[in-house]
Amino acid sequence: RAKAIGPNVYQFFTSKMNEQIHTRMGLEHDLRHAIEREELEIYYQPIVDLETGLVSKAEALLRWEHPTRGKVPPYEFIPLAEETGLIAKLGEWVLYTAAQQTSIWQTRTNLPIGVSVNVSTHQLKRGLSTATIADVLQTTQLSPELLSLEITESLLMEDTVANIQWFHKIKELGVKLSIDDFGTGYSSLSYLKRFPLDFLKIDRSFIRDSIGKQEDASLVKAIIAMANGLKLKVIAEGVETQEQLIFLHQLRCQYVQGFYFFKPMSVKDFERNILAKHGVPLLKKGLLRG
């Protein structure tokens, strides 16, 4: 079978692979310098509280403007950062920068708008200490309850004593904890009772298919019911349509995030479109009944 493919095809594959390795090494080199070259920026995506109709916090999402390649999407450079260990440095930069920004907003506006920062499993494994989180709060003077950390399910599956202790220490600082991309990881739910969690973010894929696919609608219903029983607040990710919004509201899902309301935005846009207009309810009367 290998013979049938022929030498030219083989050559095609190797040069293609070479190219990929080159691109990767180039990107890795550039990513190492991205912080001091000021190519990184944090975008903020509002999370709306359906009970008040107001923005309650924003998710901090990292953006990289490469000098020659332009915008490099997170799904390309975050995995690279994780594999190379650069995520430790990048992750700390995001934590300090997002906390500083939120603290400035808090002081300036006196609005209780928080920030939610993604922390990857690799970051924790590479020793993101609770002392660092304490230092972030100390340095930026951000009220702890305005900071949430988003952790994906895979870490919660490793319910080692060290892991559970880390979570408890974070809780002692007053910081909130969210499970990100819920439903895409593992099937065991037993970790939900062992970790001190505050929010559960339902993955975008369930929300996307919840209108039209009975199975997904049932899963969303079940996740919200379970979360309520465990006293976890639910954030639905990737809400794009009014239908999805109404469906989620009927199920008493309290928070939604998604393009229906807002895309992730720059600091300037957040100040102009969110902070300056805060207090104006985002939901028109009658849109959500009951």
Binders in 188-217 for ligand C2E, by CB under 6 A: 204
* Least CB distance to Mg ion at residue 202 (A): 9
Buried/exposed 113-148: b ≥16 CB within 10 Å, e otherwise? bbbbbbbbbbbbeeebebeebbebbeebebebebbb
Q: Which of 6, 138, 259, 287 touches ligand C2E by CB under 6 A?
A: 259
Nearest approach, Cβ of residue 119 and ligand C2E (Å): 6
Secondary structure class of 41 (helix, strand, coil) = strand
Nearest to 82 by CA among 71, 91, 70, 94: 91
Phi and psi (nearest 5°) for 32? -55, -30
Tell which positions 108-147 bind ligand C2E, by CB under 6 A: 118, 120
The binder of ligand C2E chosen from 74, 125, 173, 283 (CB under 6 A): 74
Alpha carbon distance 102, 139 (integer Å):
13
Q: How far apart are CA 253 and CA 265, in angstroms?
A: 24
Q: Which stretch binds ligand C2E (CB under 6 A): 6-14, 130-138, 225-233, 238-246?
A: 238-246
User: Exactly one of 192, 238, 270, 274 binds ligand C2E (CB under 6 A); which one?
Assistant: 238
Residues 155-184, mask of contacts with ligand C2E (x by CB under 6 A): -------------------------xx---
Taking the C-alpha atoms of residue 265 and residue 272, their distance in angstroms, rounded to an integer, is: 10
Residue 258 binds which entry of ligand C2E, Mg ion, none, CB below 5-8 Å type-dependent: ligand C2E
Choose the binding region for ligand C2E from 67-75, 138-146, 220-228, 242-250 (rule: CB under 6 A). Answer: 67-75
Among 76, 181, 240, 269, binds Mg ion (CB under 5 A): 181
Residue 252 CA to residue 236 CA, distance in Å, equals 11
- State in angstroms the smallest separation of the CB of 18 from ligand C2E: 28
Stretch of residues binding ligand C2E (CB under 6 A), selected from 16-24, 210-218, 251-259, 265-273: 251-259
Question: Per CB under 6 A, which of residues 3..32 are in contact with ligand C2E?
Answer: none
DSSP E strands in the chain: the ranges are: 40-49, 54-66, 70-72, 114-118, 147-152, 176-182, 199-202, 233-236, 255-256
**Please, are residues 260 and 239 in contact by the beta-carbon 8 Å criterion?**
yes
